[in-house]
Amino acid sequence: MSLFKGVIAKYRKYLPVSDETPIISLQEGSTPLIRARNIEKEFGFPFQLHVKYEGLNPTGSFKDRGMTVAISKAVEKKKAFVICASTGNTSASAAAYSARAGITALVVIPEGAIALGKLSQAMIHGARIVAIKGNFDDALKIVREICEKYPVELVNSINPFRIEGQKTAAFEIIDALGRAPDYHALPVGNAGNITAYWKGFKEYAAVRPVMLGFQAAKSAPIVDGHPIKNPETIATAIKIGNPASWEKALEARDESGGIIDKVTDDEILFAYRSLARLEGIFVEPASAAGIAGLIKYNKKSYFKDASKETIVTATLTGHGLKDPDRAIAESAQPPKVSAEINVVAEALGIK
Ligand code: F0G
């Protein structure tokens, strides 16, 4: 028997559901918070680092926490269609939860910019997918307009039910630690997640963390202070030039006394490989932006007053299998040799 029944069952009194709400769940949430001692050691972190491995949600990303609430509410409202624009994970989650609810997910994606694993998910769950010649920001604009004209429910994070569900990750971190962390680091794309975490920390703890958000360097509208027309980054999940929750992200930063800054693709990929090689934790590139930010800020002595009593948490937003092409591109390719013990032993470097 499963010990957890999903985030709505677990945190029902904090969520906008009633007896009339049919709960559509894949038993998301209850993801592990893992101490990353090898990373601490390698980079000389003076603090404890605990990572919230959200890749272990049912569709492999944090989106499932918000999607269980958004889809449950859409079904309560008797909607037959939900719609989202996506860099991939939202569409994978919307497609899976819609399949379970027996409704149809409509998905608008930027052509050629979705990691393979995510696209395969939306396809196999039966979403109706359209790829546009444009980027995520163009796709989001179109789905917002569609929602004004047609009876479909928007399930991007502009939908407040998404934020409500996603805030449960902050609750789980506090439940696991027995208190809020001192700092919390995470990637920022459309800025729904930083908004949700900050809401969750505020609702669940009197003493809250300093929020540290990181955008990819060439997709960093919040840091640069203006929308980016043609955002670029290998971290396709956060390739966003005009985040929907921009103002809320600034609120999280300012109310917590935190930071929103940028990290380069090289820094993201270095953190991505480090998590995989030092901790055995496989994430998609965007997920490593928070860790890249911690490495950068530790070098700048930002944490000079921290000790091993200081707790830093970081969200690892999506699973590495979402983007297998990137993992292969970042690794040495296996040599092809003849099927002979001596040759194989030599190629393995043990002869
Ligand atoms: N990490 C991953 C793996 C994501 O998929 C996203 C967003 C983010 C970080 C950033 O979170 O947008 O709340 O600031 N992905 C969205 C999508 C945009 O369509 O799947 P955010």
Distance from residue 237's CA to the centre of ligand 1 (Å): 5
Cα(121) to centroid(ligand 1), Å? 16
Is 187 a pocket residue for ligand 1 (Cβ < 6 Å)? yes
Q: How many CB atoms lie within 10 A of CB 275?
A: 24
Please give the structure tokens belonging to residue 318.
Answer: 């999506």
- CA of 316 from ligand 1 middle (Å) equals 11
Cα gap 115→119, rounded to integer Å: 7
Q: What is the pLDDT of residue 5?
A: 87
**Which atom of ligand 1 is nearest to 249's Cα?**
14
To the nearest 10°, report the CA torsion of 189, 190, 192, 195.
70
Select from 52, 57, 87 the residue to mutate for testing ligand 1; criterion: most ligand atoms less than 8 Å from CB: 87
Any atom of ligand 1 within 6 Å of the Cβ of 88: yes
Which atom of ligand 1 is nearest the CA belonging to 283? 3
Find out whether the beta carbon of 86 lies less than 6 Å from any atom of ligand 1.
Answer: yes
CA dist 293 to 63, 170, 227, 313, Å? 22, 19, 21, 12
What is the sign, positive or negative, of the torsion defined by CA atoms of 34, 35, 38, 40?
positive
Closest residue to atom 15 of ligand 1, CA basis: 237
Cβ atoms within 10 Å of 225's Cβ, excluding its own: 7
Per-residue pLDDT of the chain (351 residues; tens, 9 = 90+): 555 789 999 999 999 999 999 999 999 999 999 999 999 999 999 999 999 999 999 999 999 999 999 999 999 999 999 999 999 999 999 999 999 999 999 999 999 999 999 999 999 999 999 999 999 999 999 999 999 999 999 999 999 999 999 999 999 999 999 999 999 999 999 999 999 999 999 999 999 999 999 999 999 999 999 999 999 999 999 999 999 999 999 999 999 999 999 999 999 999 999 999 999 999 999 999 999 999 999 999 999 999 999 999 999 999 999 999 999 999 999 999 999 999 999 999 999
In the three-class reduction of DSSP (H, G, I as helix; E, B as strand; rest coil), residue 78 is classed as coil
pLDDT at residue 173 in the model? 98
Give residue 287 CA to ligand 1 midpoint distance, Å. 9
- Please indicate whether residue 139, judged by its CB atom, sits closer than 6 Å to ligand 1: no
pLDDT at 189: 98
Closest-lying ligand 1 atom to the alpha carbon of residue 87: 19
| SS3 category, 106 | strand
pLDDT at 2: 52
Contact 30, 49 (CB under 8 A): no
Burial level of 19, CB count in 10 A (0-12/13-18/19+)?
A: exposed
Does the pTM of the predicted model rise above 0.85? yes
For 246, phi and psi rounded to 5 degrees?
-50, -55
Rounded to 10 deg, the angle between the 192-204 and 168-177 helix axes is: 50
Neighbours of 183 (CB within 10 A): 24
Given ligand 1 and candidates 238, 242, 275, which is best to mutate, with the most ligand atoms within 8 Å of its CB?
238
Residue nearest to atom 4 of ligand 1 (CA): 237
What is the Cα–Cα distance from 236 to 215, expressed in whole angstroms? 11
106 burial via Cβ count (<10 Å: 0-12, 13-18, 19+): buried
Kindly give the distance from the C-alpha atom of residue 18 to the centroid of ligand 1, in angstroms, as a whole number.
28
The pLDDT, as a whole number, for residue 3 is 59
CA neighbor of 208 nearest in space, from 311, 317, 288: 311
